[in-house]
Amino acid sequence: MPLYKEELRHFIRNLLDEDIGAGDLTTLATIPADATLKAEMNARETMVIAGIDIAAKIIHTVDSAIKVEILVQDGVEVTAGNVIMRLEGNARNILTAERSALNVLQHLSGIATLTRQYVKKIDHTDCKLLDTRKTIPTLRKLAKYATRMGGAVNHRMRLDDGILIKDNHIASVGSIKNAVEAAKNYGTRASTIGITVECDTLDQAAQAVDAGADRLLLDNMSLDMMRAAVRDFGGRIKLEASGGVTLETIQSIAETGVDFVSVGRITQSAPAVDIGLDYLN
């Protein structure tokens, strides 16, 4: 699970309170209390699954007696028509849990699916896809879990996961050198990204390297500028490309030789996938 046990319990409780309120009036009014149902969750398009265990946990929170059979694990790509889960149990409770379970599964699988599309574009290179902090508030752990299922590498989860010096930081202290020196003197704990400096130009990149940065964030640079950065600094420092990256441009960016490409779209703009819960006779 991407969430700790108590985090998951709290998330599901809020989710169900938001959707159910005081009760599912339509179901209570129309479905006999002892009625049972069998149902299947079906993929209606090609997708990468993410959140299947959370969906099952949502259903079991509504009714632990519902039989849930998970047929596809997270990270697996399926096509339209694939059955990903089977359910059997009290009809009222299945109907009540349906939308909450589908909302989470469709959203997270949408992120994983879009992420996989980006990853496939750069599979032939050594470049790795990174996610960002551009996530729906309070859902970051789930979103970043979904990107991992799609094949991305998680970047900073929070602001305390590493130092990323950007233009506003540099402007506040006067220079890249001053910003990097201040970061080094701060004594922050080691992190996977160390001290990263955002650079718009090759001159800024050279200043950051000379100042002792651990990584360069090449922000909105042209392909020629990125190739030059790889030529001048590759092997000495990790290079990350960022800024306006799309499915149409990521391959060319990766082929410049940069180590990483970070893409906000995979968590910020991923559309939900189409999953249906079909009831069986």
Nearest Cα residue to 161 out of 135, 185, 189: 189
- The answer to whether residue 191 scores a pLDDT higher than 90 is no
Q: Tens digit of pLDDT for each residue in 71-88?
A: 999 999 999 999 999 999
Tell me if 272 sits within 8 A of 110, measured CB to CB: yes
**pLDDT score of 1:** 79
Q: Is 219 a catalytic residue?
A: yes
**Catalytically annotated residue among 120, 134, 177, 227:** 134
Catalytic residue at 140?
no
Confidence check: pLDDT of 190 > 80: no
Question: Residues 38, 86, 99, 128: which is the catalytic one?
Answer: 99
Vertex 122: Cα angle to 117 and 126 (nearest 5): 145
Under the banding of pLDDT at 50, 70 and 90, the label for residue 189 is low
Mean pLDDT of 78-102: 97
Closest of 199, 203, 204, 194 to residue 221, by C-alpha: 199
Residue 172 burial by CB count (10 A; 0-12/13-18/19+): exposed, middle or buried?
Answer: exposed
In this predicted model, what pLDDT tens digit does every residue of 252-268 receive, in sequence order?
999 999 999 999 999 99
pLDDT of residue 194: 87
pLDDT band at 192 (very low <50, low <70, confident <90, very high): low
Q: Is 198 among the catalytic positions?
A: yes
Domains and CATH numbers, the chain: 5-117+270-280 (3.90.1170.20), 120-268 (3.20.20.70)
Active-site entry in 38, 120, 166, 184: 166
- The answer to whether 141 and 111 are in contact (CB under 8 A) is no
- In this prediction the pTM is 0.95
Where residue 188 falls among pLDDT bands split at 50, 70, 90? Answer: low
- Mean residue pLDDT of the chain comes to 96
> What share of the chain in percent tops pLDDT 70?
98
What's the CA gap between 33 and 30, in Å, rounded? 9
- Reported as a single tens digit per residue, the pLDDT across 113-167 is 999 999 999 999 999 999 999 999 999 999 999 999 999 999 999 998 889 999 9
Which of 114-128, 176-190, 264-278 is predicted with the least confidence, judged by mean pLDDT?
176-190
Is 18:90 a contact under the CB 8 Å cutoff?
Answer: no
User: What is residue 84's predicted lDDT score, i.e. its pLDDT?
Assistant: 98
The full length of the chain comes to 281
Give residue-wise pLDDT tens across range 33-45: 999 999 999 999 9
Residue 161: the pLDDT is: 87
Cα gap 123→111, rounded to integer Å: 18
